[in-house]
Amino acid sequence: MAAKFRTVSLYLLLIALSGVSLFGCGDGAVNTNVDQSRADEDGTAPQLGDDYFMVPAGATDLIGNVTETVELKVFLYKKTTGEPAFNQNIAFEIIEPVDQTDTTLSAFNSATSEDGGASVDLRLGAQPQTLKVKADHGSSNGVTFTVDIRPLETGDLEITMVNTGASVMQLADIDLRLYRDGDYSCSEFRPLSPREEGDLSTYVAGTISERVKFEELGTRERFMVTAVGRGDRGQIAGAGCIEDIEIRPDEITRKELLLQLIPLNPVGRYDVTSHWDFSQALEDSGAVGSTIMRILDFFENPGQTLYDEVMNLLQQFLGLGGTAMDQFLSLTGLEDDFVNMVNNWINNNDALAPLMRAGQDLRNVVANLEVHSELTIGKMSSNYEFRGTDNWLGITLYWRWDCDANSPPDCGAINIQADADGDFGDLGIMSSEWTGRVAAYNQLQIDMHPLSLRYGRLIMYILNDVIIPELTDGNASSLSEAFSYWICDGLGTSITGSDGEMCVDLAVWDGCIYDHQISGFCQNASSTVFSLADMLVRNLEYDLGMRIGGEGVLVETTSDGFVDFIEEGKFDGFMQNADLNQSQASPISADFEAERIDFDTDNL
């Protein structure tokens, strides 16, 4: 400190003596000379009108290695008293060469402290050269530093990259950047918003296996390297950072840089389309499911279905056991003729034939239930878990009985939309809530959760409100009504003949059955198949419940870290009704895909 003040006092003394000499001479041309001198020497010479004077804090000719940092410091004093000038702005500028970009200043301005000192760091680039930096103040002389950047004591740095998530996502086009330690740190590194300035060198590696070398780095500095890799959609998918790298002179320092996949954030609201197949599950799912399958079986072979129902009723009416019933059927010939007779009757009926063809397509309707829903995923916790809500907005079934190979994809679509409250009428509100998580970068996991669907009511709605009214021009609104009217009224006479009776003489039973009785059995059978089913599915609200879990692949395409799509979505679980336990429940599955609409910024 004493040395500093002696230097300053000596400088003040020299200024004072120069002033006395100049004023003593009374030469008016002196001021002109001083002004001209400042202009000629780039403003470093003092002026008589200056309020301050500036001195360097040491030598102005400096030497530094490439990539090192050199401090440039000056002191500013009041000209009249020699006291340190506090809180004065000193401007720093690289004045030569004017077109270089390799070397940078840590700041362009610095305010003087209480001791009058102001400083900035000159960050030397990787290329040897000589440059000049000027420190300036509006009411003081300036100071020019000459810095010679030399390629002495240098070494090379070789980076080997490792993708720690190679089994999940391959990385390519890896952007590597070299920084000086202290200018930047790994804790500040943000892969999704990389720093665009301050790097000493950059390199883009095409593949993860490429080795990257940074050459002629100074040995007095420590360095940091960042890497940002892109995934299969061109998105930023992985990143890594290594710091505190020491360079050994005239050697290659080798470092391994681990790139980790960046977990995706699925928060947001999604438009979801899913496709469900209920055919096997309904067949295995108890009373309601089997009743619906009886309806579907009817369309496959109406004669057989009505035959089975009529025979059940006839057996009860006659009070016959199994063997006696077989004898009765053999004697009357009903076993051979009834099924074909009903099928032929329907096929020759102008009203029922198209109804049967349409009903046969009902199995495809059941097998492809398309659901449109809105999925909302909430804020993700620190362990990558979150909650999701899936609200069904619309159900689409495809009844393609009147479509051909050239028909558009939406031919035969039956759309059922929820009202403003999300209610589907008799189907109720379709919604599910679940918990889930992101695993292995882009794997969506959905925990098992309940979902209730009044699927029987949906089938009856399609039949009674869509298919039958359309095919019968509004003459029937239920299957039991249609088949009782068109089949059963004439069925009895067709079986008994014109005399209206069919008589048998068996050891266990003898007597006659009349045409009106057979027609009654037919009507009862039709009612049994259809009216009972209608009653069951309308009265049972939750008997066809599901428990499902799921998975999917999260896709991000915009390099902001937020999921844009969910692909390869899959729901798996089981359907279960009130009279079944889980071990007996039927498996069920669905495929889905989703596209993000937006997200609530409060959830970020």
Report H helices in 224-333: 279-283, 286-300, 302-318, 322-332
The string of DSSP letters for 302-335 reads HHHHHHHHHHHHHHHHHT--HHHHHHHHHHHTHH
* Domain membership flag for residue 492: yes
HSE-up (13 A, CA, CB side) for residue 347 = 10
42 or 518: whose pLDDT is higher? Answer: 518
- Do 76 and 111 reside in the same domain of the chain? yes
Nearest alpha-carbon partner for 566 in 266, 167, 169, 275: 266
pLDDT band, very low/low/confident/very high, at 324 (cuts 50, 70, 90): low
Note down the domain range covering 81: 52-150
* Domain membership flag for residue 332: no
> What percent of the chain is predicted at pLDDT more than 70?
65
Cα 55 to Cα 142: distance, rounded to the nearest angstrom? 8
Q: Is 464 helix (H, G, I), strand (E, B) or coil?
A: helix
* Domain membership flag for residue 254: yes
* Domain membership flag for residue 494: yes
Tell me which of 150, 179, 202 is where a domain ends: 150
Q: How many CB atoms lie within 10 A of CB 195?
A: 14
Whether residue 70 contacts residue 121, with contact meaning beta carbons closer than 8 Å, is answered with yes
pLDDT surpasses 50 at 26: no
Whether residue 307 contacts residue 345, with contact meaning beta carbons closer than 8 Å, is answered with no
pLDDT surpasses 50 at 3: no
Q: What does the DSSP 8-state code read for residue 211?
A: -
> What percent of the chain is predicted at pLDDT more than 90?
42
How confident is the model at residue 414, as a pLDDT? 85
pLDDT surpasses 80 at 300: no
Cα 245 to Cα 22: distance, rounded to the nearest angstrom? 57
pLDDT surpasses 50 at 16: no
* Domain membership flag for residue 307: no
Q: Which of 164-178, 403-417, 471-485 has the lowest mean pLDDT?
A: 471-485
450 or 226: whose pLDDT is higher? Answer: 226
Q: Is 447 helix (H, G, I), strand (E, B) or coil?
A: strand
Cα 252 to Cα 254: distance, rounded to the nearest angstrom? 6
Cα 103 to Cα 127: distance, rounded to the nearest angstrom? 9
Whether residue 92 contacts residue 135, with contact meaning beta carbons closer than 8 Å, is answered with yes
134 or 453: whose pLDDT is higher? Answer: 134
- Do 109 and 174 reside in the same domain of the chain? no
Whether residue 525 contacts residue 487, with contact meaning beta carbons closer than 8 Å, is answered with no
pLDDT band, very low/low/confident/very high, at 263 (cuts 50, 70, 90): confident
Amino acid in the structure at residue 120: V
pLDDT band, very low/low/confident/very high, at 583 (cuts 50, 70, 90): very low
- Do 182 and 64 reside in the same domain of the chain? no
536 or 437: whose pLDDT is higher? Answer: 437
Q: Which residue has the tokens 């740190």?
A: 185
Which whole number is the average pLDDT over 588-597? 94
Q: Cα dist. 14→19, 42, 87, 221, 224 in Å?
A: 9, 21, 26, 40, 48
Residues 6+ positions from 168 with CB-CB distance below 8 Å: 261, 440, 441, 442, 443
pLDDT surpasses 80 at 409: yes
How confident is the model at residue 309, as a pLDDT? 62
Tell me which of 110, 130, 150 is where a domain ends: 150
Nearest alpha-carbon partner for 362 in 419, 300, 309: 300
Q: How does pLDDT run across 530-575, given as a tens digit for each residue?
A: 665 555 545 444 345 788 999 999 999 999 999 999 999 999 988 7
Cβ neighbourhood burial of 131 (10 Å; 0-12, 13-18, 19+): buried
When the pLDDT of each residue in the chain is averaged and rounded to a whole number, the result is: 78
239 or 18: whose pLDDT is higher? Answer: 239
| Main-chain dihedrals φ then ψ at residue 234, nearest 5 degrees | 80, 5
Q: Could you give the maximum distance between any two Cα atoms of the chain, in Å?
A: 160
- Do 193 and 136 reside in the same domain of the chain? no
- Do 520 and 385 reside in the same domain of the chain? yes
Which whole number is the average pLDDT over 185-194? 91
- Do 429 and 460 reside in the same domain of the chain? yes
* Domain membership flag for residue 326: no
- Do 565 and 494 reside in the same domain of the chain? yes
pLDDT surpasses 70 at 50: yes
How confident is the model at residue 190, as a pLDDT? 93
Which whole number is the average pLDDT over 498-517? 65
How confident is the model at residue 429, as a pLDDT? 67
Cα 184 to Cα 166: distance, rounded to the nearest angstrom? 28
Domain count, the chain: 3
Radius of gyration, alpha carbons of the chain: 45
Residue 56's domain is classified under what CATH number? 2.60.40.10
Q: Cα dist. 315→301, 318, 378, 518 in Å?
A: 21, 5, 61, 12
- Do 513 and 400 reside in the same domain of the chain? yes
Q: How does pLDDT run across 368-401, given as a tens digit for each residue?
A: 789 999 999 999 998 999 999 999 999 888 877 7
Which whole number is the average pLDDT over 448-476? 75
pLDDT band, very low/low/confident/very high, at 408 (cuts 50, 70, 90): very high
Q: Which of 27-36, 170-179, 387-396, 594-603 has the lowest mean pLDDT?
A: 27-36
267 or 518: whose pLDDT is higher? Answer: 267
How confident is the model at residue 84, as a pLDDT? 96
| Main-chain dihedrals φ then ψ at residue 127, nearest 5 degrees | -110, 130
Q: Cα dist. 360→305, 370, 408 in Å?
A: 14, 19, 21
* Domain membership flag for residue 100: yes
Nearest alpha-carbon partner for 207 in 186, 241, 176: 176
How confident is the model at residue 329, as a pLDDT? 60
Nearest alpha-carbon partner for 264 in 441, 387, 444: 441
pLDDT surpasses 90 at 12: no
- Do 249 and 384 reside in the same domain of the chain? no
- Do 405 and 499 reside in the same domain of the chain? yes
Which whole number is the average pLDDT over 26-52? 56
pLDDT band, very low/low/confident/very high, at 426 (cuts 50, 70, 90): low
Token output for 473: 């021009």
Q: Which helix (H) or strand (E) holds 13?
A: helix 2-25
- Do 74 and 203 reside in the same domain of the chain? no
* Domain membership flag for residue 519: yes
pTM of the model: 0.64
- Do 400 and 387 reside in the same domain of the chain? yes
Tell me which of 100, 117, 150 is where a domain ends: 150
Helices (H) and strands (E) in the chain, counts: 15, 27
Amino acid in the structure at residue 34: V
Residue 232's domain is classified under what CATH number? 2.60.40.1120
